[in-house]
Structure 1
Amino acid sequence: MEQTWRWFGPKDPIPLSHVRQAGATGIVSALHDHYRGEVWPEDAIAERKAVIEAAGLRWSVVESIPVPNAIKLGGEPAREATAAFAETMRRLSRAGLQTICYNFMPVVDWTRTELRHPMPSTGLALRFDMTDFVAYDAYILARAGADRDYPPDLLRQAEARVGVLTPEQVQRLEATIIAGLPGAEDSHSRQGIANVIARYADLSPDDLRANLRTFHETVVPVAREVGVRLCIHPDDPPFSLFGLPRVVSTAQDLDAIFGAVPERENGLTFCAGSFGARADNDLPALLEAHLERVHFVHLRNVSTEPDGSFVEDDHLVGNADMVRLLALLLREEARRREEGRSDHLIPFRPDHGHLLLDDQDKTTLPGYSAIGRLKGLAELRGILATLTHPTYGVLQ
């Protein structure tokens, strides 16, 4: 498997020289200065690739070309936005980039409620607290209809939570939820997010699925034509936020997506943490069902609670059995090699990571500190070395 590292470009606090020290050989990046649905300039693509290669690394995965709300809402505006996405794909292909990760989450991208949650012995973690989220949705944002989307007990707990939050805590919670985490498509003000949510008022889950299918019916043939592998990232978290539909959360969702447009270029970013945030997702079974079209892997772990809350745990602690998942992926690589597939090497990255040691006092991007990801990559690398050992490995 190819060891990669997400890098947010020249403004990333972690330089590429440090990525090389971590042992990664591939870079996962995107042009975040061109992130509002416009076509990416070819000179900017070439410049990013040159910077990465000058550091002795390879731009392995594009994460992400954003999918604007116009595409998710469908209709005439979606056609122009989809054409822009397809043209960016063509330009990336001409630059030699073949793997593109993207997501289809409406309004908000990956979402947490706390960025520095104290762990018992492993630094500070990202956390999604369901009570805090409902407190924001129902009583701070005061979204119309929010009271119908949650159980009465949870609403009572959320109302009580709001009653003890200071103005500073309210501001921090709001910024964490809606201001945009690293790599997110957009950021919002309170009124701004209310306005965008209102645009989805009449959009059902089936409508969103239909709009995703329409999008795929346009861009997947282009991907096949230019030699690009698209890989959709699951919803994070994998359940409704702000009453909005999310349709890349479960095994049934994936069956529908890939059944509708079955070409292998219509692929999957298997994110163990995102799928693992639903206790009812069987991660090995979900992975096995779609191994042939897994083009990229995010490896992180979460520990869940009965109300849907979760914390990003150590890479080897939580809902995901990393040993089993990596064994499945290595077997798939071997199968692809035997088949003669050019994409037999599957890129993966250690996703997120705890704030450890003196990273707690440095400027870091939430989830993307150096030491926490370095620790995760080292642990995952150890599993890979064990599974493939010529004498003791179980895959020989």
Structure 2
Amino acid sequence: MRQTWRWFGPKDLTSIDDITQAGAVGVVSALHHVPNGVVWTPDEIEKRHREIATRKDGSASGLTWDVVESLPVSEDIKKQKGDWREHIANYKVSMKHLADSGIETICYNFMPVLDWTRTDLRWTVAHGGSCMRFDINDFAAFDIHILQRSGAAADFTNAIADEAARRFEAMDEDDKKQLARNVTMGLPGSTESMSLQDVQAHLDEYGAINRDQLREHFIAFLEEVVPVAEDLGLRLCCHPDDPPFALLGLPRIMSTAEDYSYILNAVDSPANGMTFCTGSLGARPDNDLPAMFGQFASKVHFLHLRNVKRDTDDVAGSFYEAEHLAGDTDMVSVIAAILIEERRRKAEGRADWEIPMRPDHGQDILDDLGRRSQPGYPTIGRMKGLAELRGVMKALEHAQWGLGRA
């Protein structure tokens, strides 16, 4: 695996110098300051390449921009309303500019309204550090009582709705505002967080879009951009829903093996692939991650390795971001499957045999606790995660275990 690190640009509290010291060799980044649907210009792309390649003292970092995460798909495209056709055209232009700069892999998602969603961004764990958490009861309190979405209560069990009501009654105004901010925060690094009015406006525009319609919209998008990606030598890889179940009365369509099979078969191309995120997929107890990787191995273009610990075995339930080797996902088995696939690709002569991986998320520990970095992206917590993952990789690649590179 090619070890990479997510970086949000010059304002990121983790510097390029820090990334080199952590031992990563590539960087995952995006132009977070560019509004969704707007073209990424060659000048802005080249500027980000230079920033990644340069240390604070002006010397070469040795790092390269390996993966774009993300080139966002606008809500207009997902809804097929407003400026959606113009946004697809702009998406193609941005892809061309990225390919011209040497980028080969683009990660994106197709989650409606809310992207990754958490109810607590700094939840205290047993050792005194903190992590991100999704609590289904708190989310229900937001949906039913703060957002006051019509019909929201019917989307939860009676037990969850009752607990949500109890929790809402116990909240003061600051608690309610903080919960709303947490839920509507938006993509990591994004400047486009949403107000409650924004969320409701999007929901009104989505209207009664069901699972089949949202899938049709996704396929229409892919039918436009995948041929362009093929021509440019790009690999597109869709990130799974996070969390991987319906929210706000809207379907989520990239949560299970069946979801990925449907989309990857609908637009069958080497350029139409998967971001295999063990944390997002692992939040569902019915997802068998080693089996899922095996099913889609040839089309996995990017890896997010992280772990979550579920409170229950409910499909739509609560979970928190665990240490990388300590959650419900058998990370050793997943990494073994990845190394086997890389060996297969190398023997086949594939240029993309080494799959870019990043240690996704991390718990705030030690000095992280005072830094208040981007939630989920502490320096030390991620470095600890990368070290753990690297140790598993090193052990499995040892000749004794037979997974060494061919």
TM range, normalised to the smaller chain?
Answer: over 0.9
TM-score, with normalisation over the residues of structure 1? 0.97
Structure 1 distance, partners of 2:49, 2:98, is 10
Task: Tell me the CA shift for residue 36 of structure 1.
Answer: 2.0
Opposite residue 130 of structure 1, the aligned amino acid is: I
Opposite residue 24 of structure 2, the aligned amino acid is: A
Task: Tell me the CA shift for residue 394 of structure 1.
Answer: 3.5
Q: Is the 8 A contact 2:33 2:190 kept in 1?
A: no
Corresponding residue for 1:128?
Answer: 134
Question: What secondary structure, in the 3-state scheme, does the structure 2 residue paired with 1:297 have?
Answer: strand
Corresponding residue for 1:317?
Answer: 326
Q: Is the 8 A contact 1:111 1:236 kept in 2?
A: yes
Q: Is the 8 A contact 1:123 1:357 kept in 2?
A: yes
Q: Does 1:270 align with 2:279?
A: no
Corresponding residue for 1:232?
Answer: 238
Task: Tell me the CA shift for residue 56 of structure 1.
Answer: 1.7
Corresponding residue for 1:330?
Answer: 339
Structure 2 distance, partners of 1:53, 1:217, is 34
TM-score, with normalisation over the residues of structure 2? 0.95
Structure 2 distance, partners of 1:253, 1:363, is 36
Structure 1 distance, partners of 2:340, 2:128, is 32
Task: Tell me the CA shift for residue 185 of structure 1.
Answer: 7.7
Structure 2 distance, partners of 1:121, 1:349, is 24
Question: What secondary structure, in the 3-state scheme, does the structure 2 residue paired with 1:357 have?
Answer: coil
Question: What secondary structure, in the 3-state scheme, does the structure 2 residue paired with 1:100 have?
Answer: strand
Structure 2 distance, partners of 1:47, 1:76, is 31
Q: Is the 8 A contact 2:119 2:179 kept in 1?
A: yes
What whole-Å deviation, never above 9, does each CA across 1:339-388 have from its counterpart, x for those lacking one?
A: 11111110000000000012111131100010000000000000011011
Q: Specify whether residues 139 and 17 from structure 1 end up closer, same or farther in structure 2 by C-alpha distance, changes over 3 A only.
A: same
Task: Tell me the CA shift for residue 318 of structure 1.
Answer: 1.3
Corresponding residue for 2:375?
Answer: 366
Corresponding residue for 1:174?
Answer: 180
Q: Specify whether residues 287 and 220 from structure 1 end up closer, same or farther in structure 2 by C-alpha distance, changes over 3 A only.
A: same
Structure 1 distance, partners of 2:377, 2:82, is 37
Aligned equivalent of 2:92, options 86, 93, 112: 86
What whole-Å deviation, never above 9, does each CA across 1:236-275 have from its counterpart, x for those lacking one?
A: 0001111111100011101100110111110000000000
Unaligned runs of 5+ in 2: 55-60
Opposite residue 33 of structure 1, the aligned amino acid is: H
Q: Is the 8 A contact 2:9 2:48 kept in 1?
A: yes
Task: Tell me the CA shift for residue 198 of structure 1.
Answer: 1.1
Structure 2 distance, partners of 1:253, 1:182, is 24
Opposite residue 203 of structure 1, the aligned amino acid is: I
Structure 2 distance, partners of 1:157, 1:139, is 12
Q: Is the 8 A contact 2:189 2:374 kept in 1?
A: no
Taking the TM superposition and a 5 Å limit, the aligned residue runs for 1:202-217 are 202-217=208-223
Q: Does 1:342 align with 2:351?
A: yes
Question: What secondary structure, in the 3-state scheme, does the structure 2 residue paired with 1:10 have?
Answer: coil
Opposite residue 162 of structure 2, the aligned amino acid is: R
Q: Is the 8 A contact 2:32 2:190 kept in 1?
A: no
Taking the TM superposition and a 5 Å limit, the aligned residue runs for 1:1-396 are 1-54=1-54, 55-74=61-80, 77-121=83-127, 123-184=129-190, 186-306=192-312, 307=314, 308-390=317-399, 392-396=400-404
Q: Is the 8 A contact 1:66 1:185 kept in 2?
A: no
Between the aligned residues of both structures, percent identity stands at 48
Structure 2 distance, partners of 1:241, 1:76, is 23
| Segment drifting more, 119-128 vs 230-239 | 119-128
Structure 2 distance, partners of 1:332, 1:181, is 30
What whole-Å deviation, never above 9, does each CA across 1:65-88 have from its counterpart, x for those lacking one?
A: 010011101257322211111111
Unaligned runs of 5+ in 1: none
Q: Is the 8 A contact 1:303 1:310 kept in 2?
A: yes
Corresponding residue for 2:58?
Answer: none
Question: What secondary structure, in the 3-state scheme, does the structure 1 residue paired with 2:4 have?
Answer: strand
Q: Specify whether residues 155 and 172 from structure 1 end up closer, same or farther in structure 2 by C-alpha distance, changes over 3 A only.
A: same
Structure 2 distance, partners of 1:30, 1:76, is 25
Q: Is the 8 A contact 1:5 1:28 kept in 2?
A: yes
| Segment drifting more, 302-311 vs 177-186 | 177-186
